């Protein structure tokens, strides 16, 4: 794919697909990571003299103009992050938007209204893609986190005008390639989270690509129970036992070592500071539940990490939002960060709760790369082709 290095941006009208789908509470942005990570691309384009027209979806208005889902507040947030004015257009296509885009001067920035106000966005309607393409000379996609959607502004428009990857898209793709495309070996993957059923494809794909697959979180309970261990009141999916056994057998066939917990921190209730103790996997009391993996498991993971060259991390090892059941996640994260410094361990994390867990552990800044994507990161780990990325591929 082409990057900004291949684009002579001066004087060009650039349609920039961003992902401004940021977490909001009571009209306030609660996490600015996506905005901050977008700034280098906008700044670079503006400084090179491009006329930058930004489009994005926000939330799921399903083709209606839902006022709470307007991108208008984001113009101000972008403007203060960039320290330059950002205009706003009340729609993302149509004559008024075309006039606003045409009136831009070199280096100016305009944000368009939520693309999902049009039903054609999610249907990848060519009419919407054409309406967007009309606004610009070239398309730059910086929304890796929306690239798993084949929508008009992520996929359709990329076929209509020359398409490039922005700096954030480029960084995400390079990090994922370092993790699974052509990684330094051995590769360890840590997969946690609640359910095996939501991560079947991910576990299947990883077990073909990595050398060691560490399974933690409540999903580990399902594997342990499938092996016949009694886990008391622990959360687990009884209907997934056959599948779990199959995953273990397939991994073995692929030469992938699966590391399951050898000890567990069990508690009387799913609550912060609930009475708890550490037990072996065959000693879980009938009235208690596993909320974290234990110290022996943490040491077993650390031993694998000391041998590893690359780590891919998706999902917490325990109920990290309820201390002290964050202990294993925090400790393993600290090991990852220090091995990054002392041994050059390449560490890439992302998807769902992972970013929150790594931030909670205080190591997000010390990992090689933490993805800003949720669903897109997971689909990539599942080995799926992301339509927004595929559309950037240059065909000779
Ligand atoms: C995300 O936040 O993961 C992306 O912006 C995609 O949002 P969606 O799940 O509403 O398509």
For ligand 1, residues with CB inside 6 Å are 19, 21, 60, 145-146, 149, 374-375
Q: What percent of the chain has pLDDT over 90?
A: 90
pTM of the model as a whole = 0.93
Q: Which CATH superfamily is domain 4-169 in?
A: Phosphoglycerate kinase, N-terminal domain (3.40.50.1260)
Between CA 311 and CA 274 the distance in angstroms is 32
| Mean pLDDT over the full length of the chain | 96
Residues 83-103 have a mean pLDDT of: 98
pLDDT of 259-309, one tens digit each? 999 999 999 999 999 999 999 999 999 999 999 999 999 999 999 999 999
Q: Spell out the residues 6+ positions from residue 320 whose beta carbon is closer than 8 angstroms to its own.
A: 326, 329, 330, 353, 356, 357, 360, 361
Catalytically active residues, by annotation: 34, 195, 352, 375
- 129-181 per-position pLDDT tens digit: 999 999 999 999 999 999 999 999 999 999 999 999 999 999 999 999 999 98
Ranges in the chain annotated CATH 3.40.50.1260? 4-169, 183-381
Dump pLDDT digits (tens) for 227-257: 999 999 999 999 999 999 999 999 999 999 9
CA of 57 to the centre of ligand 1 (A): 8
Q: Which of ligand 1's atoms lies nearest the C-alpha of 373?
A: 3
- 197-206, 219-228, 278-287: least confident range: 197-206
- Ligand 1 centre distance from Cα of residue 267 (Å): 34
CATH of 183-381, one of 3.40.50.1260, 3.40.50.300, 3.30.450.20, 2.60.120.10: 3.40.50.1260
* Least-confidence region, from 192-196, 269-273, 351-355, 364-368: 351-355
Q: Which residue has the higher pLDDT, 141 or 25?
A: 141
Smallest CA-to-CA distance from 341 within 316, 364, 368, 360 is with 368
Q: What gap in Å lies between CA 152 and CA 174, rounded to an integer?
A: 25
Sequence-ordered strand ranges (E) for 102-224: 109-112, 138-141, 163-165, 187-191, 212-215
pLDDT average, residue stretch 366-385: 92
Given a cut of 70, whether residue 356 has pLDDT beyond it is yes
396 pLDDT exceeds 70? no
């Amino acid at each position: 794919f082409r990057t900004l290095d291949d684009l002579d941006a001066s004087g060009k009208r650039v349609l920039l697909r961003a992902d401004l789908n940021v977490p909001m509470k009571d009209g306030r942005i609660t996490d600015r990571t996506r905005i901050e990570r977008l700034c280098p691309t906008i700044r670079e384009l503006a400084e090179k003299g491009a006329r930058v027209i930004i489009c994005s979806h926000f939330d799921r208005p399903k083709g209606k103009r839902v006022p709470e889902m307007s991108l208008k507040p984001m113009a101000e947030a972008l403007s203060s992050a960039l320290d330059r004015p950002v205009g706003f257009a009340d729609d993302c296509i149509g004559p008024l938007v075309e006039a606003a885009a045409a009136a831009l001067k070199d280096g100016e920035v305009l944000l368009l209204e939520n693309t999902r106000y049009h039903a054609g966005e999610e249907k990848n309607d060519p009419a919407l893609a054409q309406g967007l393409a009309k606004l610009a000379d070239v398309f730059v996609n910086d929304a890796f986190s929306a690239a798993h959607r084949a929508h008009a502004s992520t996929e359709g428009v990329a076929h209509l005008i020359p398409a490039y990857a922005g700096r954030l898209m480029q960084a995400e793709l390079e990090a994922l390639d370092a993790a699974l495309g052509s990684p330094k070996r051995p590769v360890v993957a840590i997969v946690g989270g609640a359910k095996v059923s939501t991560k079947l494809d991910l576990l299947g794909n990883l077990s073909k690509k990595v050398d060691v697959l560490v399974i933690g979180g409540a999903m580990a309970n399902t594997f342990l129970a499938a092996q016949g261990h009694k886990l008391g009141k622990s959360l687990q999916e009884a209907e997934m036992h056959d599948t779990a056994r199959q995953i273990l057998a397939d991994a073995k066939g692929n030469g992938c070592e699966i590391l399951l917990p050898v000890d567990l921190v069990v508690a009387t209730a799913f609550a912060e500071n609930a009475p708890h103790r550490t037990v072996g996997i065959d000693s879980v009391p009938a009235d208690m539940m596993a909320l974290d993996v234990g110290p022996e498991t943490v040491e077993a993971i650390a031993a694998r990490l000391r041998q590893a060259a690359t780590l891919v991390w998706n999902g917490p090892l325990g109920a990290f939002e309820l201390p002290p059941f964050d202990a294993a996640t925090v400790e393993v994260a600290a090991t990852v960060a220090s091995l990054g410094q002392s041994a050059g361990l390449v560490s890439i994390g992302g998807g769902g709760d992972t970013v929150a867990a790594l931030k909670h552990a205080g190591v997000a800044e010390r990992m090689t790369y933490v993805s800003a994507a949720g669903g897109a990161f997971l689909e990539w780990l599942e080995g799926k082709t992301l339509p927004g990325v595929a559309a950037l591929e240059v065909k000779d």
